[in-house]
A and B are shown apart, each in its own frame.
Chain A
Amino acid sequence: MSAIIRLKNINKTYYNGAPLHVLKGIDMEINKGEFVSIMGASGSGKSTLLNILGILDNYDTGEYCLNDVLIKNLSETRAAYFRNKLIGFIFQSFNLISFKNAMENVALPLYYQKMGRKTRNKLALEYLDKLGLKEWAHHMPNELSGGQKQRVAIARALISKPQIILADEPTGALDSKTSAEVLEVLKKVNKTGMTMIIVTHESGVANQTNKIIRLKDGVIEKIEDNSEHKFSNFSVENIK
């Protein structure tokens, strides 16, 4: 099986004030179509890792290959291109543009692919329909519930048909019922063959994924196979 993501000895230090060595040599491979969760204590470096995977942030040393392309020292323009083509990012805080309605938000990645307005709005409506939000297409983000916002964000992540979906605590701001719904959507998307990596605190969410990567103090503590979905609450060690 071909690895879509290959990390070799990734190190990342923040230099705001006292240097903070956050990622201390991360090695991992994720294959096409995998459904992976990353767990770990607060401050263990989960978001940092995901941001590097999403080319939103850079790393200091090591090698990150995405789709067999070395992602290192890219120009912002090139990084933008890869983000647009290869990556769909889902944020805990949704990150919708407040003055655009749901449809326009979903269509925005296609604007940066130079797609015409009519075509991209039509496509955006299709994706919103898939996520059960057709009626809400012309609503502004502040008129939507948390779950609806996150589904709009998912539609936006999906519309450019990326290679991987990265989600940083996608259910973190949602109640349990809505969380379950959103997770259902993500599972469905994974079923279509989309590689998906979810950072989460919730063992219930992690248990839905097929592989759990445990991060501790900037290193991978262990990688568990969870294809049986037998993850039990007893092994929760991230709640401190």
Chain B
Amino acid sequence: MPIIELRHIHQSFGASKILNDISLTISRGGFTSILGPTGSGKTSLFRLIAGLDEIDSGEVYIDQRLATRDSQILLKPHKRNVGLVFQDIALWPHLSIYKNLEFPLKSLKYPKDKIVKRIHEMIDLMNLKGLDKRYPHQLSGGQQQLAGIARALVADPDIILMDEPLASLDYHLKKDLRKKIKRIHETSKKTFVYITHDQEEAFELSDEIIIIDEGRLIEKGKPEKLLTDPAQDFTRYYLNPPSHH
């Protein structure tokens, strides 16, 4: 049973085509990575899954429900049960970290005692202890990213979309967090969709990889399969660029 299904998605901004006839399914509980060169349309794909953008034509199903059809958003973003980690983090600068985590819970009408408990769980999970009273600009880049992830997870969404969450972090923190994300996935059994530039990351984390280029779906499959026996030349080239070593 796929939890996300895209059918013949076309998307353009003005004259330029951003997504071209994309159809794909993402299965429940899996960890799917989306790999592709910069400007290939990864973020755009995320935004339409989350319901943040209309599309020119095509259909988006979330959990078997028709969520977007052509230029009509049938299921609003906050009714889709998705959590999103943004490429530019996008914490709310006028709210403390605690309040940043509280906002989604209050919006989704969690009871008070549950809110406090849940926020503390997230703060523990993301090693943000002692920082919850601070404002975003008082955190380092890495800590901000952790808070961004915490915010996406806090309301316990079924689908978690992460747009290059580790891009701005240093090597050690990256490795650390990668493990953490993997553990969260394994224990929570949620559906993770993960955008990255970093192949190592994609192969370590995911059980399925989607490759897109210039707004087209190139190939989708298990990591080992894509690496050893890709169906497309682009995949082979992209995953194993000719090296001089």
Are A and B co-members of a single complex? no
**Contact surface of A with B, Cβ cutoff 8 Å:** none
**Contact surface of B with A, Cβ cutoff 8 Å:** none
